[in-house]
Every structure is written in structure tokens, then in C-alpha cells.
């Protein structure tokens, strides 16, 4: 169903919002147990020295779960910031620049976090 204004302008739905919406919901659901795991890990390692932290991170499940947390967190962040930028920046050039800068920053910090976990794991 199209509105009168949409018919007059010849514009319809972009048909791309459903995948974005689902991805955001799935990453939010994944972040719930992963965030709880992160908080429990921090509480468990409270006051631990570097050697204890390295032993903890050397266990395969811990590294995998931390990497999953990083991936879900930064993907969710990118999806949410993309919506905010698209909704509130109206100039096409500024919107494109903001989206590119945001994606570059998210990728940079995501890789930095993943490398930190991998360094502790190995």
C-alpha cells in the first residue's frame, strides 16, 4: 500500500529495512548472554594479576566468547549509528561522509578489540 504522496512522487518503500531490523534485533539478543558472560568474567577476575588473566584467556571458550561479544557489539553499534545518521543528517554529502567515518571507526576499534583478545588468548 502506498500513500497518495508516495504515488504522486513515484516513491515507494526501499525494501531494505527488514534485513537491517532483523540484524539489529538478533545482535541485541546475542548481546544479552554475552554481556552477562563478560560481567561475570570481570567479577571473577577482580584483583587477578596478569598471569591469571592470561591463563583465563588461554582457555579456548573464553577467547571465542569474547570474540563473539566483540563482533556482536560492534555490528550492533554500526547498525544503530547508521540509523541515527540516516535519520538526522539530511545533506547527502554530509550523510555519506558521516557514514563512511562511522564505519571506518567501528571497523578500526573492532579490529583493535579483537587483536587484544587474540593477543591474550595466544
Q: Which residue bears the cell 554529502? A: 93
pLDDT value for 14? 62
pLDDT value for 9? 65
State pLDDT tens for residues 38-65: 999 999 999 999 899 999 999 999 999 9
Mean pLDDT of the chain: 92
DSSP 8-state class, residue 11: -
Q: How confident is the model at residue 13 (pLDDT cuts 50, 70, 90)?
A: low
**In the predicted model, is pLDDT for residue 11 greater than 70?**
no
The neighbour count for residue 37, using CB atoms within 10 Å, is 16
State pLDDT tens for residues 84-113: 999 999 999 999 999 999 999 999 999 999
CB 93 within 8 A of CB 83: no
DSSP-H helix ranges across 45-91:
50-58, 60-88
Q: How confident is the model at residue 17 (pLDDT cuts 50, 70, 90)?
A: confident
CB 95 within 8 A of CB 48: no
Question: What is the distance between the alpha carbons of residues 64 and 79, in angstroms, rounded to a whole number?
Answer: 22
Record the cell numbers describing residue 114, joined without a space: 579483537
The residues near 35 (Cβ < 8 Å, ≥ 6 apart) are 69
Q: Does domain 23-121 have CATH number 1.20.1300.10?
A: yes
Question: Domain spans of the chain?
Answer: 23-121
Amino acid at each position: 500500500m502506498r500513500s497518495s504522496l508516495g504515488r504522486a512522487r513515484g516513491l515507494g518503500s526501499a525494501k531494505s529495512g527488514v534485513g537491517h531490523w532483523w540484524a539489529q534485533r538478533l545482535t541485541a539478543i546475542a548481546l544479552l548472554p554475552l554481556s552477562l558472560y563478560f560481567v561475570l568474567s570481570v567479577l571473577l577476575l577482580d584483583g587477578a594479576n596478569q598471569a591469571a588473566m592470561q591463563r583465563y584467556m588461554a582457555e579456548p571458550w573464553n577467547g571465542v566468547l569474547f570474540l563473539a561479544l566483540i563482533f556482536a557489539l560492534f555490528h550492533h553499534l554500526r547498525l544503530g549509528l547508521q540509523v541515527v545518521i540516516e535519520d538526522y543528517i539530511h545533506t547527502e554529502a554530509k550523510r555519506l561522509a558521516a557514514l563512511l567515518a562511522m564505519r571506518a571507526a567501528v571497523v578500526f576499534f573492532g579490529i583493535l578489540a579483537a587483536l587484544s583478545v587474540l593477543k591474550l588468548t595466544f
